[in-house]
Structure 1
Amino acid sequence: MTRMQLRAIDIGIVPEEGPDRVGIVGMPQWMWVNEPRPKSFGPITRKATAGSASVTATAKVDKVVWDMGDGTTVTCVGAGTPYEDRFDTAESPDCGHRYTKQGEYEVTATSYWTVQWEGMGQSGTIPLDFEATANIVMGEAQVITQ
């Protein structure tokens, strides 16, 4: 597994991280795996050989569990859908959330991997998980009427 160099996902989220980025309470948040690659999302296969013995292992992410920082967790299967401006205020089709209070939130995405291996007449699975974090800010939209 060391040769696979598995790691946490690169977080894709709207609102984005940054000092001048603020999301709106009550609007849909989108989460996704930013540019999924074999080492950060899989699948990736490697073979190791020593003499006449060899082992082949394939690793892939089964799910990503998002701790939204507000007491809510969201489990997403698959990489999610990257947000594009043309989606406007639509809900994410596969991995989303809505905040109900303004504030700063640390979002933690835990990717759960399964490594399936076989060799030398044996086989098995090894579970792994990796965490990535992002800090986002949610604000309230103020409406002025007369």
Structure 2
Amino acid sequence: MPGGWGVVFWIWLATPPGGAPPDPRALAQQAIARMNLRAITIGIVPEPGPVSIGIIGMPTWMWAENPGTTTWGPQTQTASAGGFMVTATAKAQRTVWTMGDGDTVTCTGPGTPYADSYGKKSSPTCGHTYTRQGTYTVRATTYWVVTWAGVGQSGTIPLNFTDTTTITMGEAQVLNS
């Protein structure tokens, strides 16, 4: 308008132009899906299988055979929509081993793989000792926490993944002739 006069209208919109921001938790779930998180592969001595028999009273060693970003973490991914972004970071917190004999063992790291040089020593990080012979189903459930932040919010999402195997424990027999 000539002379510098004009009319200004202020309009209050219930949602921002272009629509409401996306649900940040839904974006976090999208980021988690990109991580391809999965259960550890059980590493255990005695080894699973019909020809491997452990001896009761001897240490059993347990570990994550494949510790990495998809089985132990940490891993960070982002997801975005409509100009908004959420970042999620996943980390394994612990593995709870259900030993099949009524006992559980909680390990806060991926464990130490067994090597023959350890002999009869107990695992320094994750082990168990069976006291009865038998065949046992062993479950390793790894518990994760995913922390996320974005779109002015933050939160955590718990996850868990399980792998299962079977081992056999027997008694050592001594023969005298």
TM (normalized to structure 1)? Answer: 0.97
- Residue 125 (1) aligns with residue 127 (2): no
SS at match of 2:117: helix
1:119, 1:84 → 2: CA distance?
45
CA positional deviation for 1:144: 2.3
Q: Which amino acid aligns with 2:54?
A: G
2:78, 2:57 → 1: CA distance?
48
Of the three residues 84, 101, 116, the one matched with 2:115 is: 84
CA positional deviation for 1:143: 1.3
CA positional deviation for 1:3: 1.2
1:1-146 alignment runs, 5 A limit: 1-145=32-176
2:42, 2:91 → 1: CA distance?
17
CA positional deviation for 1:51: 2.3
Q: CA RMSD in A?
A: 0.9
Structure that is richer in helix per residue: 2
TM (normalized to structure 2)? Answer: 0.80
2:44, 2:149 → 1: CA distance?
36
What's the CA shift string for 1:4-49, capped at 9, x where partnerless? Answer: 1111111110011111111000000000011201111111110111
Deviating runs (4+, > 3 A) in structure 1?
A: none
- Higher radius of gyration, 1 or 2: 2
What's the CA shift string for 1:24-80, capped at 9, x where partnerless? Answer: 000000000112011111111101111210000000110000000000000000111
Q: Which amino acid aligns with 1:84?
A: A
SS at match of 1:86: helix
CA positional deviation for 1:102: 0.5
Identity %: 59
SS at match of 1:2: helix
| Runs of 5+ consecutive residues of structure 2 not aligned to the other structure | 1-31
> Which protein has greater RCO, CA pairs closer than 8 Å, 6+ apart?
1
Count residues in correspondence.
146
1:72, 1:122 → 2: CA distance?
40
Q: Which amino acid aligns with 1:18?
A: G
Structure that is richer in strand per residue: 1
